[in-house]
Structure 1
Amino acid sequence: MIEVDNLHKSFGDTHVLKGITTSFEKGKTNLIIGQSGSGKTVFLKCLLGLLTPEEGTISYEGRIYSKLSGDERRDLRQEMGMVFQGSALFDSLTVEGNVMFPLEMFTRQSYAEMKERVDFVLNRVNLVDAHDRYPAEISGGMQKRVAIARAIVMNPKYLFCDEPNSGLDPKTAILIDNLIQEITQEYEITTVVNTHDMNSVMEIGEKIVFLKNGKKEWEGSNKEIFKTDNEAVTNFVYSSDLFKKVRQMYIEERN
């Protein structure tokens, strides 16, 4: 579990995060949603340790990040996996080379041990025949799966995904959502997904944190979000006719 208490982050005179308190649960897909400028990306970077908040704490299984030594922070970062918005694969490396890269950087495993682990995670994301192909030779959806394989190759306790469905067609986006949720539950990972995709909210939003103007405006599950009367949430989620119809269906079922 990741616990956040009264988090503040500013850049000069611009106060971006304004006292966020929440938690992200183990074995669940936790989503951060909100409009552009709401603070989602800054919040995610604070969770990753890439930005230092001025106030508040972030703790990982009771370990408060600001109180950790340099070595302890380095160890914690090795427990984190990250799926970047654009996949961030190395063009000059094969699929196998991309997934093996963290193992080469941070472990002392033999090549045979690394190869076995890479084969396992590529099989887990349904990429059994792509080892020798380069990123430019595979589809966007396959690139996302490679990025997920690389993110979990070190057996992380925490998985962070920044807009994992960006640039994907709806069918492929659903496949990626389902894969993230399956891996989260299978390996009991604390997964945090930064997204604007409302299909993701519907499909995998077991815990949702909605930010507005740097504050936590609302939190709950994908079932609860259809029942909320919070105007900021409903204006954001039901901006399309499709989601208005879904909300109406939930209201009718409740009545």
Structure 2
Amino acid sequence: MIEVNDIHKSFGDAHILKGISTTFEKGKTNLIIGQSGSGKTVFLKCLLGLFAPEVGSIVYDGKDYSSLSENEKRNLRQEMGMVFQGSALFDSMTVEGNVKFPLEMFTKQSQSEMDDRVNTVLKRVNLVDAHNKFPAEISGGMQKRVAIARAIVMNPKYLFCDEPNSGLDPKTAILIDDLIKEITEEYDITTVINTHDMNSVMQIGEKILFLKDGLKEWEGSKNEIFKTDNEAVTNFVYSSDLFKKVRQMYIEERN
């Protein structure tokens, strides 16, 4: 579990995060949504330890990040997996090399132990025959699965995903959503996803945090988002005709 307590973050005169408090539970898919400029990216970077809030605390399973030593912070960061928006694979490395990279950098495992772990995670993301391919030789959806495999190869306690469906077609996006949710449940990971994809919200949004102008405007589940009367949330979520129709259907059924 990650507990966020009244964090503030500024850059010069720009006050980006203005006192956000929330919790992200283990074994659940926790989504952060909001318009551009709402503070989502800065918030995610604070969770990753890349930015330090001026006020407030972030606590990882009872460990307050700000009170840890540099060595303890380094160890905690090794328990975090990250799936970047553009996958961020190394073009010059094969799929196997990309996934093995964190093990080579941060562990003292033998070559056979690393090979076994890489084989395990590639099998889990359904890429058993892609070891020797390079990123340019595989599809965007496969690249995203490689990125997920690399993110979980160190068996992390925390998984962070930044726009994991960016650039993917709707069918592939659903497959990636399902894969992230399955891995979250199987490995009992605390997963936090930054997204603008409302299909993801409706598909896997067990906990949804909606940010607006650096504030927590609303939080709830994918079912509760249909019930809210918060105008900022409804304007964001139901900006498309499809979700307007879904909401209208829900209202009619409720009445």
SS across alignment from 1:5: strand
Task: Provide the C-alpha distance between the structure 1 equivalents of 2:253 and 2:117, rounded to a whole number of angstroms.
Answer: 47
Task: Specify the code of the residue in structure 2 equivalent to 1:113.
Answer: E
Task: Specify the code of the residue in structure 1 equivalent to 2:61.
Answer: E
Consecutive unaligned residues in structure 2, runs of 5 or more: none
Task: Provide the C-alpha distance between the structure 2 equivalents of 1:141 and 1:225, rounded to a whole number of angstroms.
Answer: 28
SS across alignment from 1:116: helix
What's the counterpart of residue 241 of structure 1?
241
Task: Specify the code of the residue in structure 2 equivalent to 1:161.
Answer: C
Matched, 1:132 2:132: yes
After superposition, what is the alpha-carbon deviation per residue over 1:173-213, rounded to whole angstroms, capped at 9, x for unaligned?
00000000000001100000000000000000000000000
Return the offset for 1:253.
2.4
Task: Provide the C-alpha distance between the structure 1 equivalents of 2:187 and 2:250, rounded to a whole number of angstroms.
Answer: 32
What's the counterpart of residue 106 of structure 2?
106
Task: Provide the C-alpha distance between the structure 2 equivalents of 1:31 and 1:135, rounded to a whole number of angstroms.
Answer: 27
After superposition, what is the alpha-carbon deviation per residue over 1:148-185, rounded to whole angstroms, capped at 9, x for unaligned?
00000000000000000000000000000000000000
Task: Specify the code of the residue in structure 2 equivalent to 1:108.
Answer: K
After superposition, what is the alpha-carbon deviation per residue over 1:213-253, rounded to whole angstroms, capped at 9, x for unaligned?
00000000000001100000000000011000111122222
Task: Provide the C-alpha distance between the structure 2 equivalents of 1:230 and 1:251, rounded to a whole number of angstroms.
Answer: 15
SS across alignment from 1:4: strand
What's the counterpart of residue 172 of structure 1?
172
Task: Provide the C-alpha distance between the structure 1 equivalents of 2:68 and 2:248, rounded to a whole number of angstroms.
Answer: 48
What's the counterpart of residue 229 of structure 1?
229
What's the counterpart of residue 66 of structure 2?
66
Aligned sequence identity (%): 83
Task: Provide the C-alpha distance between the structure 2 equivalents of 1:200 and 1:158, rounded to a whole number of angstroms.
Answer: 19
Q: CA RMSD in A?
A: 0.5
**TM-score, structure 2 as length reference:** 0.99
Return the offset for 1:62.
0.9
Task: Specify the code of the residue in structure 1 equivalent to 2:98.
Answer: N
Aligned length: 255
Displaced runs of 4 or more, over 2 A:
252-255
What's the counterpart of residue 83 of structure 2?
83
Task: Provide the C-alpha distance between the structure 2 equivalents of 1:86 and 1:60, rounded to a whole number of angstroms.
Answer: 26
Task: Specify the code of the residue in structure 2 equivalent to 1:75.
Answer: N
What's the counterpart of residue 50 of structure 1?
50
Task: Provide the C-alpha distance between the structure 2 equivalents of 1:251 and 1:117, rounded to a whole number of angstroms.
Answer: 49
